[in-house]
Amino acid sequence: MLMILKMGVTQQQIDKLVDFIEKHKLKAHVSIGETKSIVGIIGDESKISKEHLESFDFVEKVMPVQKPYRRASREIHPENTVIDVKGVKIGGNEITMIAGPCSIESEEQAFEIATALKKMGVKVYRGSAYKPRTSPYAFQGLGLKALKILRKIGDELGLVVETELMDIRNIEVVAKHVDMIRIGARNTQNFDLLKEVGKVDKPIILKNGVSTTMEEWLFAAEYILNEGNNNVILCERGIRTYEPATRNTLNLSVIPILKELTHLPVIVDPCHAAGKRGPIPALSKASVAVGADGLLIEVHNNPQVALSDAAQQLTPKDFEILYNDLKRVAKSVDRTLV
C-alpha cells in the first residue's frame, strides 16, 4: 500500500500511522515531500485493510500495490486454465458453444431442442430449473423435475448439461444432476453460496453481477477457488448503465482485460444483455472476434410460448445460421468453434 497524506500532517500523526502499521508486523517507509508526504508499507499488504488506512483522517488516498486477489491472478498462475468437462475443453484454442432453452419447461420441449442442437454439433446444453425472477408472480422454474430431465438429456444424448443454482439448500441435488453449475448475476456476491460451490467437484460458470467491477468479480471467483475448486469459468452477461435501448450493456472490453488479469476462461452471454433477439447475432460475432472462450446462447423451439425470457431466445433455425456464421468468424481469429 502507498498512502498520500494530506497537507499539513503533523509528525505525531505520521508516528501514529507508522505505529499502527508496525502493530500488524509490517514495515513503514515514510517519505516527507515538500507539499505532501507519502507512506509505503513493506511486506504482505493483505495483513492490513485499505479501509483501515483510510480511516485515519489525515490520509488522503490509499493505493494498493499488490493484486488483492491471488488464486485468480495471472501474476501467480501465468498459464491459461483449461477446464475439461467430460471431454469438452473450455479455455483452450477451441471456443465452446453452450446452447439451450432459458428454462426447462417439459421433457418434450427440452429433448426436442437438445436433439436439434446435438445434430448441429453443439456439445454443451443449458437449461434452468430454478428461475430468479424480479416479480414473485412470474414462473419460478420446474425445480427437481427439470434437473432430472437435464440428467436424462446428458445421459441419453451424450451432452454436457448445466443449470443455475440459486438456493444454497439445493446445492447437493443440483451437483448430483448436472455437469456444470451456473451462478447468475444476482448471486455473484452471494458469498455463502460461493463458498459452498467452492467445495463441489464440478466446474462453475460465474456470471458478473449487473454492477460488479472486474475486481469484485475476480474476488467472487477467488471465494470459489479459495475453497479448492479451481474450475471457474467467468461469463460476461452485461452491466447496468443509463442506456435504455438494451436491457443491459454488454461489456466486451472485459474479455481482453480479464485475459490479461486472470488465467480463467471467459465466455459471453449476449442474450441477457440484449434482452431481445435483434442484436444477438451481431453481439455473438463480436464476442468471438474479441477473444471469448465460449458463448451461452438461448434457443427455444417456440419462443413466443416460452415461460421465461421469451423475447431473447432464438429458434433452432436462426441459431443454426448463426452457429455457422460464428465458425467463420472464429476461423478469422485463428480459433475453432465447437
Judged by CB under 8 A, the chain residues 36 through 95 that form the site for a second copy are 36, 38, 40, 42, 46, 49, 51-52, 54-57, 61, 63, 65-66, 68-69, 75
Please tell me the count of residues contacting a second copy according to CB under 8 A. Answer: 106
**Of residues 271-300, which lie at the interface with a second copy (CB under 8 A)?**
273-279, 281-283, 285-291
Minimum CB separation of residue 223 from a second copy in Å reads: 5
- Going by C-alpha positions, the residue among 179, 320, 118 that lies closest to residue 110 is 118
H or E segment at 3?
A: strand 2-5
The 168-207 contact track toward a second copy, x by CB under 8 A, reads xx----------------xx-xxxx--x------------
Minimum CB separation of residue 178 from a second copy in Å reads: 18
Written as one string, the DSSP assignment of 80-98 is PP-EEETTEEESSSEEEEE
d(Cα 65, Cα 58) in Å, to the nearest integer? Answer: 20
Stretch that binds a second copy, among 111-119, 151-159, 240-248, 316-324 (CB under 8 A): 240-248
**Of residues 11-40, which lie at the interface with a second copy (CB under 8 A)?**
20, 29, 31, 33, 35-36, 38, 40
**Of residues 214-233, which lie at the interface with a second copy (CB under 8 A)?**
214-216, 219, 222-223, 226
CA atoms in the 13 A half-sphere facing the CB of 328:
5
Q: Smaller CB distance to a second copy: residue 109 or 287?
A: 287
- Going by C-alpha positions, the residue among 50, 98, 75, 65 that lies closest to residue 261 is 75
Q: Smaller CB distance to a second copy: residue 10 or 119?
A: 10
Residue 84 near residue 326 (C-beta atoms within 8 A)? no
Q: Smaller CB distance to a second copy: residue 157 or 214?
A: 214
Residue 235 near residue 267 (C-beta atoms within 8 A)? yes
d(Cα 109, Cα 96) in Å, to the nearest integer? Answer: 23
d(Cα 152, Cα 29) in Å, to the nearest integer? Answer: 62
Asked if 331 touches a second copy (CB under 8 A), the answer is yes
The 97-136 contact track toward a second copy, x by CB under 8 A, reads -----------------------------------xxxxx
Q: Which amino acid is at 147?
A: L
d(Cα 306, Cα 248) in Å, to the nearest integer? Answer: 21
Minimum CB separation of residue 22 from a second copy in Å reads: 14
